[in-house]
Chains A and B, each alone.
Chain A
């Protein structure tokens, strides 16, 4: 065990659940050819309204602005590759869903200028991040939306690990990239005090353990211990009026690369995992990669559900879809969808449950091949203290969800809505006997509150 762990206090989380799934990515890194198309999806960014600055046929470089946020034109969204804008896909009410770019074979970059963040001012760093399109990587609590550049947060939190099912291993991905990571941390440290939380149960990479300019925290326990929301709640709880920013380690790496090279380098390492993947492993690819390219030849036969992200919080995308902005993982599971005769009484050893009303509790180490079945119908809340088992906050989850359902703003505030994001309720939603769409409710509550407060 590392000395710094011994000296520091470890926070042990008991509530939560590790849902073990088949198809974990093996630690092999493969290259993917440059995809023919990549996409930026405005729907990845909660609470923003896109204002396009390019049109179909325009040539762009990696880092060229595609659109900005109508409510705050400082926040720009840029192209991850160079090439030609091929299509602007719109959905219902003409909402822009995807901006598709046909990628060049060789990427040409916008130059934002290499520099050492430690000698730059706060304003200069913010401007550089905004201009290059890296700013959206920084999100904020409350509301779980892109941070506002002119806010003064009380801290920036980075979770060094992802505890979700089949999650990519950041210690593996960041191995050997300490210098770049540190440069990203240095840039962030100019904006606010940086807190980095490491999983003390695993051997963390030195990129994390040797990081300077950060306050290190140690945490241990089942998912959602890796959720930054849990860590903030225990290490620096948010009161009304306070703001904490959050960012993921690979995004810190992207910021580091921006300062090292002056380029918006959108390359990222993605874990391709799940029961329906032939050889689950890591791929070096690019933000917004098309599934056609990423999953080519690697999909098993059958009705597959392709998820950008993990099975708890990710987005369902089709075989024609694109990787999400914040995602470092693609999970493919069987879709399922078959009715089951007397399914409410059969022991169902193949199904996961945190209750002991199925037999799965008898085999705690079993790896499941779960499909996307609801396993029941939506009902009003009946069972109590179910969410509490997987919700490591000093917050009453069901009562908070009910406060949101009845639009009681004062109660939502009192019960701690500023501290949570939909992802913190992902396990609650998963284990819910009444099959209540908890994450959607929390998302709607946050959106309503944000509107009310602005």
Chain B
């Protein structure tokens, strides 16, 4: 069956895209689709290694997408849950899930359509193959945005991020900034009213027609922490029984995929078991955030500084950022030593920005982008140290 399909493609469809065919210039687009269906049967060219590892870029990227699925599914349900909590209506599990799915899926579709569209256009213009990097970015973007964000903004931000964040540098593998965070930062600075405040986090929150229950504001814990270090309230205006546990499970308002630390941890487990994401970055990032949280606890000059250090790990976008975005291998530090430094500083600076500047409660985004820029510098010093060490060693042996 699969052989017959492949033969049909090779014999009847592909010739149209080959040199001299009438759709010749669209070959990269055709190629992307065919190689998605079939990993091509190219063999090694006879120079160099004859056997190759079974892994390729498609598999690597798909693994990351799979790792995000728990956060996506939970995000769908939570969108509905927060909505019904805010309005006070009765609902069932499926009501919440379906409500959320209808809110979240369009974000995912728009993100992929806009991003892949740009990728295909650039592949056709530059006559290169479509790289798989956007498979991950396309899922990250909807998961790190508030559910109420208008679809056209998602499209605009995605197109901006892919062109300015990636293609101008030469495409996948060449970018300096994480593409999804570039999209988020674009929206954050261009349309701040849609990226912060109390209403954007709740499904239907921006819509005047939705009736809120008494006393509910929809503010995230992160926003509430600017005024108090405990006693946070949920979308219905009721205090959480155990705010740490609620945040850990993800029963709080926030960006679509960021609320459930548990769902993110399932994804982290997938990434760590397959070895695709760096445990060094995740570990040192969590350590950095915790250390900064503790230092603030000692200082304790305002309510935000008194938020317990462990609480910082489960609220806001910290967990999502450190697991899925800081570990982006292209924009992260590339050396082993560099990764420890890079990860630690993301955690450390992320919490620092969060607490010091309540106007930018999502410090993690800024910390990762800042460290993206710093990563080549970190690697440079790690390499310099290696060069010096090796020079010393050869001199010692010679002497």
Q: Do A and B assemble together? A: yes
Q: Are A374 and B390 in contact (CB under 8 A)?
A: no
Q: Which of A100-108, A292-300, A353-361 touches B?
A: A353-361
Whether B53 pairs with A431 at a CB distance below 8 angstroms is yes
CB-CB under 8 A from A439, the residues of chain B are: 47-49
Q: Which range holds the interface residue count of chain A?
A: 35 or more
B12 CB–A CB distance under 8 Å: no
**Contact across chains for B52 and A382 when beta carbons are under 8 A apart:** no
Q: Size band of the B side of the interface?
A: 35 or more
B397 x A375 contact (CB < 8 A):
no
Q: Is the CB of A305 within 8 A of B50?
A: yes
* Interface residue from B39, B63, B173, B393 paired with A357 (Cβ < 8 Å): B63
Counting residue pairs across A and B whose Cβ atoms lie within 8 Å, the total is: 218
CB-CB contacts below 8 Å: B353-399 with A: 379, 383, 386-387, 389-391, 393-395, 397-398
A396 and B335 within 8 A (CB): yes
With both beta carbons as reference points, the residue of chain B lying nearest to A428 in the complex is identified as B49
CB neighbours (8 Å) of B25 from chain A are: none
- Contacting A433 at CB < 8 Å: which of B55, B386, B397? B55
Decide yes or no whether B5 CB sits under 8 A from chain A.
yes
Chain A facing B: main interface SS: loop
Q: Is the CB of A340 within 8 A of B38?
A: yes
State whether the Cβ of A111 lies closer than 8 Å to any Cβ in chain B.
no
Complex-state Cα separation, A239 to B38, whole angstroms: 47
User: Given the complex, which residues of A lie within 8 Å of B397, measured CB to CB?
Assistant: 236-237
Question: Which of A238, A399, A438 is packed against the most chain B CB atoms within 10 Å?
Answer: A399
B-side contacts of A348, CB under 8 Å: 54
Check A416–B48 contact: CB distance below 8 A: no
Assess the A384–B278 pair: CB atoms within 8 A: yes
B53 & A430 in contact (Cβ 8 Å cutoff) = yes
Closest to A17 in B: B53
> At the interface, yes or no: A333 with Cβ under 8 Å from chain B?
yes
A430 touches B51 (CB 8 A): yes
With A341-B6, A394-B390 already in contact, the answer to whether A354 and B329 are too (CB < 8 A) is: no
**Which of A333, A427, A434 has most chain B Cβ within 10 Å?**
A434
Cβ 8 A contact of A342, one of B37, B129, B330, B394: B37
Compute how far the CA of A385 lies from the CA of B60 in the bound complex, rounded to whole angstroms.
14
Binds A, one of B103-111, B219-227, B269-277, B311-319: B269-277
Distance A376 CA – B56 CA, assembled complex (angstroms): 5
- Segment of A132-140, A188-196, A312-320 in the binding face: A312-320
Chain B residues within 8 Å of A, Cβ to Cβ = 2, 5-6, 35, 37-60, 62-63, 129, 131-133, 170-174, 273-276, 278, 329-330, 332, 334-336, 339, 379, 383, 386-387, 389-391, 393-395, 397-398
Of the A-B pairs whose beta carbons lie under 8 Å apart in the complex, a sample of 18, sorted by A's number, is A19-B51, A237-B397, A338-B41, A339-B6, A342-B37, A342-B38, A352-B53, A355-B276, A372-B43, A372-B51, A376-B55, A376-B57, A382-B330, A383-B60, A384-B278, A385-B335, A394-B386, A431-B55
Knowing that A373-B42, A383-B276, A396-B383 are A-B contacts, what are 18 other residue pairs whose CB atoms are under 8 Å apart, sorted by A's residue number? A165-B51, A237-B397, A239-B391, A305-B43, A307-B50, A311-B50, A316-B46, A339-B39, A340-B41, A352-B54, A360-B54, A371-B43, A375-B54, A376-B56, A388-B336, A430-B52, A437-B45, A437-B48
